[in-house]
Structure 1
Amino acid sequence: MVFKHFAARVSLHVMGLLVTLAIASYLLMLPGYHAATIIVILIVAYQSYLLLGYVNKTNAELTRFLDALKFADFSQRFHMTQLGTGFSELGETFTQIMQRAAASRNDQELELRHLKALVEHVPVPLITIADDKKVTLCNNSARRLFGTYSVANVQDLAQFGEQFAQKLPVMLAGERQLLSFQVDNMERMLAVQTTQLVQSGRQEKLISLQDIQSELDHTQIKAWQDLVRVLTHEIMNSITPVTSLAKTASALADDARSQVVQRAPDWRDLIDELDDVSNAVETVARRSDTLMNFVTSYRRLTRLPPADKKEVCLTEYLQEIAALIHNDWCAADIALQIDVEPQGLRARIDSAMVEQLLLNLLKNAEQALQQNACDKPKVVRIGIGLNKRGHMEMTVEDSGPGIDDEIAEQVFVPFFTTKREGSGVGLALTRQVMIAHGGNVRLSRSTLGGAKFTLTF
């Protein structure tokens, strides 16, 4: 309908122009009508101007409409009543198209923001690796995982461990692996899975990096606890009657020896044999008691209560622990250094658990220093501070001989010990206490020359 009105008006303009041109041509052939001819020619020019203006106005509005769509300028409105009858409807149609396009664009932006918000708040870190080796951190979890380190391409992954840097870029779509990830002096185990994405002919890999270190720690600890619980139960069931019978037999042997001495003091051979029996039975009873105490110590691995965390001032806390060992260490000529930075640092910990943990580590350091035959000073240092992620780190290091790299990975395993009189409980219990605090413990070489235990809470 709009275009019919447009065609009709254009036709009227053209017909009027043709009639005027015909009149002008006729007047040019008649002599003496110069003024009339000039007037008609001016009328032709004016009609041509009106026709071109009318067409140009229509084209301008159409161009403005198409440009608005091209550049997504949805604020444009079209009021074309000045172009004549019917064009107001065309203007309203253009305006409605722009409004619908704007609404569709808003819906798309809302959906995009919603999807971005979902990705940002996904608890699993997500990254992408493009064909040009560019790495993009897709959400908050990924940025928290990598911390303050700059990660822009695959070469930057080398700062998180050799295994992580080598295997992550070459993983195939759909592949799943467990990779070691090292950051801020902490080693984590990540469950890594990749997916291939293709967008606008550009390929990239979407990689999820799920931290499962805590789950692995809890699973491993539970496995050890189940094993120790079964072993200690069976051992205690077997050794308890042996201990009881050995003590009874020892008492009976002593009674028999006393009676023989009283009634037949000349039976020296029998008395000697009874002495041997009594000593043997006492040895069995004594060893049975030792074994029961040994098994009882392992039961602590399966009965560690949940951490009862309370806020403590760490400087005062360490000074109280230092007072417990002061006299013994002064006699052994061992110097204890305490460094807390900042001085007023406070933390929420289970003070009883951590105290036992520190005493175990300090006792290990003392024994290591006593075994060290060199003349260098005997020093133990306790340091506390905050790492780059704001987590509290506590270090216990000594100037002893240190621990061989071959056994460094085994020292936290229950039952494992390098000491002749050791039970293999202390460091295993230390690891459990740290897991109960949501942290971990790591062994390395100290700048003092000996072992360095780093506790990250």
Structure 2
Amino acid sequence: MSLRRRLQAYVLGLHLVCFALTIGLYRTQLGLFIGLELLLLVTLAGGFHLVERALEPFDTTRRFQDLLLDQEYGARMKGGGATEIDALVRMFNKMLDALYQERLALGEQQGFLDRLLEATPSAVLVFDFDQRISLVNASAQALLGLDPAQAKGRPLDHWLGGAGQLRGAPGAGERARCLSLLEQLAALAPGEKAMLTDPDGRRYRGQRGQFIDRGFARHFLLLEELTAELENSERGAYEKLIRVLAHEVNNTVAATGSVLESLLYYRAQLAERDSADFCTAIVAVQRRNVSLGEFIERFTRVVKMPEPELRPTSVKEMVDDILWLNREQCKGRGIEICWTRCDAVAALPLDRQLMEQALLNIVKNAVEAVQARQDASGSGGGHVHLSLAHEAGAITLSVADSGDLLGQLTAHQLFTPFFTTKKGGQGIGLLFVREVLTRHGFGYRLAADSNGETRFDIVLARAQDQPG
């Protein structure tokens, strides 16, 4: 029985007892009996009324509870007229207003967070309480190949086991890159940050964090590509270093050259035998001095490289010239250098001088790699194959050689300033190539493939960038 019913039964029972007690006055004092009965009826009605008023705060609290359960935070309650009830209603309305403002602020923050996650260049994966993916932002779709429709509700191990299909059915190389990053992300412990790399040598910052949702921890993963940031930092460092070296070396070379020229005037004062040795020594030092100047000049050309002047250029004609320049040298060493595929491609906007020099470096490295393998094995043969392919929405120029000297090296090491795998190398050839391709906005990849070849792929244009 509810409290209301119990109170009403109590008031009614008390008055029934009083009614029973006054029955004895019915025969002796009829007037008093009637007066007491009327008074009891009035007090009974007043008792019921007071019960209703006493229980009104409970009704008000119940209505407030219903509004909370229905999440009707924008509604407001009306007062009942009594001072106590009005004070209670004002307090409840104040609480509803606070909840409404808080919910509005949370909605705005959630909307901002959703837009921020979509706009951020970092890949973001958010997991539910069962470690299943609940959110995949646009960067994660592009960087990790995950389709949000297929990813939601699945654990990260779904793709590592080979059961999941990556978005867009990427090629073998792209799939290997995505799976490598997913595997490294899955290995991160909560709160751990790590530097990750993909098979192409690009570097990323990975982090597994957590946040509290309804009193329980949920995990999220962040992945941010650092290649461009680190390359800019490296470029600034070596440009400063090269400028300092060039300044000091050029001053020394100029002064030394002047002194050496002056010393040659004294050869007439020496005996004929001493004069010949003196001149030979001076000329040898001069040659070395000139070589030192040329050495530092090659480094400064990378720093002082002008911005590309883009003009429509036939890639095939440009590469044909490079093939003719290297054909006789390769023929003498028994090296096959030729096109294996050359699709018809429209003229592309690029700086011919810079690109020609970069491609000369790439082909020269390929030929030298084959020669080094010949010298190591003591046998001839080998090849340098070029292809210009127009497929999969992109135009790709590839240079493949059978030298296969990369071993376990990553592309990042090869493009690091002053790093070289060649005896007597200076580590500026690929550095120059990287600068040229980066300034043109061309993608590139240098790696050993499964066929025992070293391939340098240059993406000259994608579908959305192609002229016409």
Q: CA deviation at 1:344?
A: 2.7
Q: Which amino acid aligns with 2:400?
A: E
Task: Show the counterpart of 1:178.
Answer: 195
Q: Secondary structure at the match of 1:405?
A: coil
Q: CA deviation at 1:418?
A: 4.6
Contact 1:401-1:450 within 8 A present in 2 as well: yes
Q: Verify: 1:224 aligned to 2:238, yes or no.
A: yes
Task: Show the counterpart of 1:135.
Answer: 133
Question: For residues 320 and 449 of structure 1, what CA distance do their matches in structure 2 show?
Answer: 27
Question: For residues 389 and 423 of structure 2, what CA distance do their matches in structure 1 show?
Answer: 35
Within 5 Å, which residues of 2 pair with 1:316-355? Answer: 316-339=317-340, 343-344=344-345, 347-355=348-356
Q: Secondary structure at the match of 1:423?
A: coil
Instruction: Call closer, same or farther: CA 1:293–1:157 in 2, change over 3 Å.
Output: farther
Q: Verify: 1:240 aligned to 2:254, yes or no.
A: yes
Within 5 Å, which residues of 2 pair with 1:27-426? Answer: 116-147=114-145, 152-155=154-157, 158=160, 160=178, 165-168=183-186, 170-173=188-191, 175-180=192-197, 182=198, 186-200=200-214, 203-253=217-267, 255-256=268-269, 270-339=271-340, 343-344=344-345, 347-371=348-372, 372-373=374-375, 375=379, 377-385=381-389, 393-400=396-403, 402-405=405-408, 410-426=413-429
Larger radius of gyration: 1
Q: Secondary structure at the match of 1:178?
A: strand
Task: Show the counterpart of 1:451.
Answer: 454
Question: For residues 186 and 345 of structure 1, what CA distance do their matches in structure 2 show?
Answer: 29
RMSD across aligned positions (CA): 4.2
Instruction: Out of 161-170 and 276-285, give the one that drifted further.
Output: 161-170
TM-score by length of 1: 0.62
Contact 2:246-2:296 within 8 A present in 1 as well: yes
Contact 2:125-2:133 within 8 A present in 1 as well: yes
Question: For residues 411 and 111 of structure 2, what CA distance do their matches in structure 1 show?
Answer: 49
Instruction: Call closer, same or farther: CA 1:400–1:283 in 2, change over 3 Å.
Output: same
Question: For residues 248 and 232 of structure 2, what CA distance do their matches in structure 1 show?
Answer: 24
Task: Show the counterpart of 1:75.
Answer: none
Q: Secondary structure at the match of 2:234?
A: helix
Task: Show the counterpart of 1:432.
Answer: 435
Question: For residues 142 and 221 of structure 1, what CA distance do their matches in structure 2 show?
Answer: 28
Question: For residues 288 and 445 of structure 1, what CA distance do their matches in structure 2 show?
Answer: 39
Question: For residues 181 and 145 of structure 2, what CA distance do their matches in structure 1 show?
Answer: 19
Question: For residues 313 and 193 of structure 1, what CA distance do their matches in structure 2 show?
Answer: 45
Task: Show the counterpart of 1:102.
Answer: none
Q: CA deviation at 1:137?
A: 4.5
Instruction: Give unpaired runs (5+ residues) of structure 2.
Output: 1-65, 73-102, 161-175, 461-468
List per-residue Cα deviations over 1:124-147 (Å, max 9, x = no partner): 322113343323443222212223
Instruction: Call closer, same or farther: CA 1:345–1:448 in 2, change over 3 Å.
Output: farther
Instruction: Give unpaired runs (5+ residues) of structure 1.
Output: 1-65, 73-104, 258-269
List per-residue Cα deviations over 1:51-107 (Å, max 9, x = no partner): xxxxxxxxxxxxxxx9xx9799xxxxxxxxxxxxxxxxxxxxxxxxxxxxxxxx999
Question: For residues 308 and 212 of structure 1, what CA distance do their matches in structure 2 show?
Answer: 28
Instruction: Call closer, same or farther: CA 1:408–1:165 in 2, change over 3 Å.
Output: closer
TM-score by length of 2: 0.61
Contact 1:311-1:347 within 8 A present in 2 as well: yes
Contact 2:201-2:410 within 8 A present in 1 as well: no
Contact 1:127-1:142 within 8 A present in 2 as well: yes
Question: For residues 414 and 451 of structure 2, what CA distance do their matches in structure 1 show?
Answer: 20
Q: CA deviation at 1:219?
A: 0.9
Q: Which amino acid aligns with 1:225?
A: E
Question: For residues 219 and 367 of structure 2, what CA distance do their matches in structure 1 show?
Answer: 52
Instruction: Call closer, same or farther: CA 1:453–1:138 in 2, change over 3 Å.
Output: same
Instruction: Out of 159-168 and 432-441, give the one that drifted further.
Output: 159-168
Q: Which amino acid aligns with 2:357?
A: Q
Question: For residues 343 and 187 of structure 1, what CA distance do their matches in structure 2 show?
Answer: 31
Q: CA deviation at 1:447?
A: 5.2
Q: CA deviation at 1:305?
A: 2.1
Q: CA deviation at 1:440?
A: 5.7
List per-residue Cα deviations over 1:294-329 (Å, max 9, x = no partner): 111121122122233445443444334334434444
Aligned residues: 346
Task: Show the counterpart of 1:36.
Answer: none
